Structure 1
Amino acid sequence: MGLAADVPYEVHSSDELGRYLVAARDLSPGDLVLTERPLVFGPKSMPDPEAAMPCVGCYKPVATEAGERCSKCGWPVCSGNCPGLTDPRHHGAECHILSARPECVLKDMANYYRHDALLPLRCVLLQIVDPEKWIKLIEMQSHMECRTPGTEAYDDANEFIVEYLMNNFISKLDADTKKKYLPTISADLIHKMCGIIDTNALEIRHPEGSELLALFTNTCIMEHSCIPNTKHTFATTVKDKNELFRITVKVVVPVEKGNHITTMYSHALWGTQARRQHLKDTKYFACKCPRCSDPTELGTYLSAMKCLGDGEPCDGIHLPEDPLDDETDWACNKCSVKINNSQVNMIISQMGEEVENVQMMGGSPITLENLLCRLSTFLHPNHFHLYAIKHSLIQLYGRLPDQMSQDMLDKKIKMCRDLIKITKTLDPGNARLSLYNAVLQYELHTALVLTAKNDNCDGTPKTDDQIKQLLLEAKEAIEDAMVSLKDDLEETSGNQLLEVIEKSKKEFDRFCQEKKVTF
Structure 2
Amino acid sequence: MDGNTNTPYEVRSSEKLGRYLVSSRDLDPGDVILTEAPIIFGPKAMSDPELKMPCVGCYRPIFTDAGERCAKCGWPVCSGNCSGLTDTRHHGMECLILRSRAHCVVDNMADYYRHDALLALRCLLLQSVDAQRWKQILNMQSHMECRMPGTEAYEEAEEFIVEYLIKNFISKLDNDTKMKYLPEMSKELLHRICGIIDTNALEIRLPDGCELNGLYARTCIMEHSCIPNTKHTFNVNANSKKDLYSIIVKAVVHIPKGTNISTMYSHALWGTQARRQHLKDTKYFSCECPRCSDPTELGTYFSAMKCIGDGRKLCDGIHLPENPLDDETDWACSKCNAKVGNSQVNAIVVQMGEEVDNVLMMGGVISVLENLLCRLSTFLHSNHYHLYTIKHSLIQLYGRQSSYMSEDILDKKIVMCRDLISITTVLDPGNARLSLYKAVLHHELFSALLLKCKKVKSDGSIKKEEEIKPQIVEAKDAVYTAIEALRDDLEETSGKKLMNVLEKSKREYEIFCKEKNINI
TM-score range, shorter chain: over 0.9
Counterpart residue number, 2:348:
347
Give the aligned residue type for 2:235. Answer: A
Give the aligned residue type for 1:309. Answer: G
Counterpart residue number, 2:359:
358
Deviations 1:472-513 (A, max 9, x none): 000000010011000001101001100110111012112112
SS in 2 for 1:145: helix
Counterpart residue number, 1:69:
69
In structure 1, distance between residues paired with 2:137 and 2:446: 47
Deviation of 1:114 (Å): 1.0
Deviation of 1:6 (Å): 2.2
Tell me if the contact between 1:332 and 1:338 (Cα under 8 Å) persists in the aligned partners.
yes
In structure 2, distance between residues paired with 1:153 and 1:308: 39
Counterpart residue number, 2:34:
34
Counterpart residue number, 2:14:
14
SS in 2 for 1:469: helix
Deviations 1:21-72 (A, max 9, x none): 1111111000010000000001111111111111111111111222211111
In structure 2, distance between residues paired with 1:43 and 1:381: 40
Deviation of 1:457 (Å): 5.3
Counterpart residue number, 1:80:
80
Q: Structure 1 residues 111-120 or 356-365, which shifts more?
A: 356-365
Counterpart residue number, 2:217:
217
In structure 2, distance between residues paired with 1:396 and 1:241: 43
Taking the TM superposition and a 5 Å limit, the aligned residue runs for 1:190-339 are 190-311=190-311, 312-339=313-340
SS in 1 for 2:261: strand
Counterpart residue number, 1:112:
112
In structure 1, distance between residues paired with 2:457 and 2:322: 47
User: Measured at CA, do residues 44 and 308 of structure 1 come closer, stay the same or move farther in structure 2, by a change above 3 Å?
Assistant: farther
Tell me if the contact between 2:225 and 2:289 (Cα under 8 Å) persists in the aligned partners.
yes
In structure 2, distance between residues paired with 1:244 and 1:438: 28
Deviation of 1:4 (Å): 2.8
User: Measured at CA, do residues 112 and 313 of structure 1 come closer, stay the same or move farther in structure 2, by a change above 3 Å?
Assistant: farther
Unaligned runs of 5+ in 1: none
Counterpart residue number, 2:498:
497
Tell me if the contact between 1:417 and 1:444 (Cα under 8 Å) persists in the aligned partners.
yes
Deviation of 1:82 (Å): 1.1
Deviations 1:272-302 (A, max 9, x none): 0010011111111110000000001011111
Equivalent residues, number: 519
Tell me if the contact between 1:72 and 1:102 (Cα under 8 Å) persists in the aligned partners.
no
In structure 1, distance between residues paired with 2:300 and 2:179: 58
Deviations 1:295-339 (A, max 9, x none): 010111111111133534311111111000011111111111111
User: Measured at CA, do residues 457 and 27 of structure 1 come closer, stay the same or move farther in structure 2, by a change above 3 Å?
Assistant: farther
Deviation of 1:262 (Å): 0.6
Deviation of 1:5 (Å): 3.3
In structure 1, distance between residues paired with 2:510 and 2:30: 28
In structure 1, distance between residues paired with 2:345 and 2:314: 16
Deviations 1:171-192 (A, max 9, x none): 0111122122111111111101
Tell me if the contact between 2:308 and 2:316 (Cα under 8 Å) persists in the aligned partners.
no
Tell me if the contact between 1:307 and 1:378 (Cα under 8 Å) persists in the aligned partners.
yes
In structure 1, distance between residues paired with 2:85 and 2:362: 38
Give the aligned residue type for 1:351. Answer: M
SS in 2 for 1:233: strand
SS in 2 for 1:386: helix
Counterpart residue number, 1:407:
408
In structure 1, distance between residues paired with 2:127 and 2:454: 66
In structure 2, distance between residues paired with 1:7 and 1:458: 65
Counterpart residue number, 1:385:
386
RMSD (CA atoms): 1.3
Deviation of 1:108 (Å): 1.7
SS in 2 for 1:62: strand
Counterpart residue number, 1:506:
507
Deviations 1:413-437 (A, max 9, x none): 1111010001000001110000000
Unaligned runs of 5+ in 2: none
Counterpart residue number, 1:450:
451
Counterpart residue number, 2:127:
127
Counterpart residue number, 1:173:
173
In structure 1, distance between residues paired with 2:293 and 2:177: 53
Counterpart residue number, 1:139:
139
Deviation of 1:459 (Å): 5.8
Q: Structure 1 residues 267-276 or 47-56, which shifts more?
A: 47-56
Deviation of 1:2 (Å): 5.0
In structure 1, distance between residues paired with 2:353 and 2:63: 32
Counterpart residue number, 1:430:
431
Deviations 1:245-270 (A, max 9, x none): 10000000000111111100000000
Deviation of 1:452 (Å): 1.1
In structure 1, distance between residues paired with 2:295 and 2:128: 50
Tell me if the contact between 1:3 and 1:9 (Cα under 8 Å) persists in the aligned partners.
no
Q: Structure 1 residues 451-460 or 304-313, which shifts more?
A: 451-460
Give the aligned residue type for 2:427. Answer: L
In structure 1, distance between residues paired with 2:262 and 2:120: 27
* TM-score (normalizing by structure 1): 0.98
Deviation of 1:458 (Å): 6.6
User: Measured at CA, do residues 13 and 476 of structure 1 come closer, stay the same or move farther in structure 2, by a change above 3 Å?
Assistant: same
Give the aligned residue type for 1:454. Answer: K
In structure 1, distance between residues paired with 2:360 and 2:72: 42
Q: Structure 1 residues 224-233 or 311-320, which shifts more?
A: 311-320
Counterpart residue number, 2:485:
484
SS in 1 for 2:11: strand
Give the aligned residue type for 1:224. Answer: H
In structure 2, distance between residues paired with 1:411 and 1:422: 17
Deviations 1:340-397 (A, max 9, x none): 1111111111111111122122121112111111111111111111111111111111
Tell me if the contact between 2:232 and 2:248 (Cα under 8 Å) persists in the aligned partners.
yes
In structure 1, distance between residues paired with 2:111 and 2:346: 33
Q: Structure 1 residues 469-478 or 47-56, which shifts more?
A: 47-56
Counterpart residue number, 2:422:
421
